[in-house]
């Protein structure tokens, strides 16, 4: 078997959590799954499941095969104005 070699940047990206701006400062109308999951305190796969089964508190839109989550709806679910 051959061991997989990862660059230092790849290892760092996996080990360090992503940094997202506070929800109050987010000015885009939609955010990607990883960022929406961060705000909702859920794993990204949970949001993907909601999108697939259409049974979650939010419904994303699909843009070129990717999910985009409405920031206004995230704020409404969290009770943040």
Tokens 């987010």 — which residue? 26
Q: How far apart are CA 61 and CA 39, in angstroms?
A: 17
- pTM score, two decimals? 0.78
- On whether the CB atoms of residues 41 and 47 are closer than 8 A, the answer is no
| Mean of pLDDT over the chain | 89
Tell me how crowded residue 18 is: count the other CB atoms within 10 A of its CB. 8
Query: 38 Cβ partners below 8 Å, 6+ apart?
Result: 18, 20
Q: What is the pLDDT of residues 34-67, one digit of tens each?
A: 999 999 999 999 999 999 999 999 999 999 999 9
Q: How far apart are CA 56 and CA 78, in angstroms?
A: 14
């Amino acid at each position: 078997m051959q061991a997989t070699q990862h660059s230092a940047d790849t290892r760092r990206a996996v080990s360090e959590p992503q940094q997202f701006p506070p929800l109050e400062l987010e000015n885009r109308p939609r955010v990607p799954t990883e960022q929406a999951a961060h705000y909702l305190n859920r794993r990204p796969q949970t949001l993907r499941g909601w999108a697939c089964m259409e049974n979650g508190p939010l419904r994303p839109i699909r843009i070129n095969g990717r999910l985009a989550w409405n920031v206004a709806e995230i704020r409404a679910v969290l009770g943040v104005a």
